[in-house]
Chain A
């Protein structure tokens, strides 16, 4: 008979196998659920998990969607490692885009190479400023950053609505609630002729490598892990929990802000009420699927970006509603949390005593 045994140490192979098992289980469960709902479950799952990666013409789209997910998840994962639960990345993403757009609107009639870097800097600072509020409240007053960062997301989204419907509305935009289109100097350069593949993609990859070096090769990265795993030992070792909270919140806020600016100055080219698409929340799944490790997050980002691209494919091939994408993403996280039990436990086959 089967028996669960607790492992003496968490299994490293299982740590990396469990996301793959989780993806397999999600495909299986998705097939069953959507078949039961009257859709073509087999082709729905195929469209979402296989087609985007099997057809090279989809890869550019995957890359464009993976870049913001990877950028946001990198920061979140470092925070999660330190037990800092910034779940308001969506708000920081929006505030980054707003700050960067502020620079864009101020430099509307100017030109120069410096405009885009200034926008990116404003984006980073905007995201950091928004993350600084929950950081301050947690460090000074022990207010849970989970609730405050999330509440601030709703505030940021309303602020965006206010701006695009009011002071920032395009004067030549036929009264549509949207800002001016960015000029050529305010738009991310593309790295492939005639595609949407913008400079944000290599930047995200580069930052993932830097984050990996930071976490694995520096004392700061070590401090983050110790503060998360053993707060008492960290205090003893002279690692400050307050400083770690500040550093991880500002880092994750800054990366989310940069992602927001890239999205505004890339695929969108302006701000509209449709700007917040939930990348800040999906990035949480990316971080977990990537095992909170910067290199794993690249993999996680590609998988989740694939579900967005595949979700659009499934809308046309099997008429799956757009909301199905979110359900697949949630199922993926559920399955991952479930399969993670294999990291700490193993199943053994035990013959019954005669």
Chain B
């Protein structure tokens, strides 16, 4: 294998892993606060379409990213009002959010199908970002660096800070956290909003960085894989990074095999790979576990009401 090939494969790997990492990290924070938001796929699609629409009409990819983040938060707030304030079933609300995201993105995106925007470019100057080898490190876009920084940031905040301790307390024992005087619902709102923001950016990665062209349902179920990654990570940011890149590798293999035209393997079988890998990983996680639950936050998915 030549260096150029290796560099190209690594670039693909990073690009495939980044949206998963962003969306899954956001969901990890929400779940740490005790909220199971199954609407990741829907929030990603909202971010993807808002990012594309704004980038297309303004000509600015940066504005597109801001719009994607805000759209993700807005979608997350629908979930928060229903599931946190009104006490609706979190599974049902998350599913509704995904159905909503699919409908809203294909409605808004209907006028953009096949249109293209300026691709999200590398952060560093061309001397570094176009270097044949160093571009692996310096040729990435802002979201790649942001996703890696956020893994460190979230890990630090959760483990070492008071804010992180409170967030975990709300997720592990909402009644006690409430009794001590922490605003459980408000903290969960913040965690869900954070999840929405990152899912929105993760979605925008598809429409602005991977393929800067609008296509219906372009996230193709990655939001669900992000949810599975959170389980795989055992709610630890470091392991989430590993998991996201592992899945990125599966998808890279799929792309490489497709490009190489592996004749004995149908393209449809290759397209199944990420989903089958997800099931395999979830199964292995359960086999490898010794006792009890999978380290999930104790209040995950349970509604909380102060009165």
Please give the residue numbers on chain A whose beta carbons come within 8 Å of chain B beta carbons, in ascending order. 6, 85, 87, 133, 137, 141-144, 146-148, 150-152, 154-155, 158-159, 161-162, 165-166, 281, 284-285, 288, 321, 323-331, 333-334, 337-338, 340-341, 344
Contact = CB atoms under 8 A, between A and B. Distances in A.
Contact of B107 (A151, A321, A341): A321
Interface in B96-115: 96-97, 99-100, 102-104, 106-107, 110
Which secondary structure characterizes the binding site on chain B? helix
Nearest to A342: B86
A290 to B, nearest CB: 13
Contacts of A341: 86-88
Contacts, number: 126
A159 B268 contact: yes
B102 A326 contact: yes
A154 B86 contact: no
A333 B268 contact: no
Contact of A144 (B78, B95, B221, B282): B282
Given A159-B272, A323-B106, A337-B93, A285 B99 contact: yes
A330 B283 contact: no
A341 B93 CA distance: 13
Contact of A327 (B100, B268, B276): B100
The interface centre, meaning the residue of B271, B275, B307 with most chain A CB atoms within 10 A of its CB, is: B275
Nearest to A147: B228
Interface residues of B, number: 46
A159 B110 CA distance: 28
Given A144-B231, A326-B99, A340-B88, A155 B82 contact: no
B283 A141 contact: yes
Contacts of A327: 100, 103-104, 107
Given A151-B228, A333-B99, A324 B278 contact: no
B279 interface: yes
B92 interface: yes
Contacts of A334: 78, 82, 93, 96, 100
Contacts of B38: 146
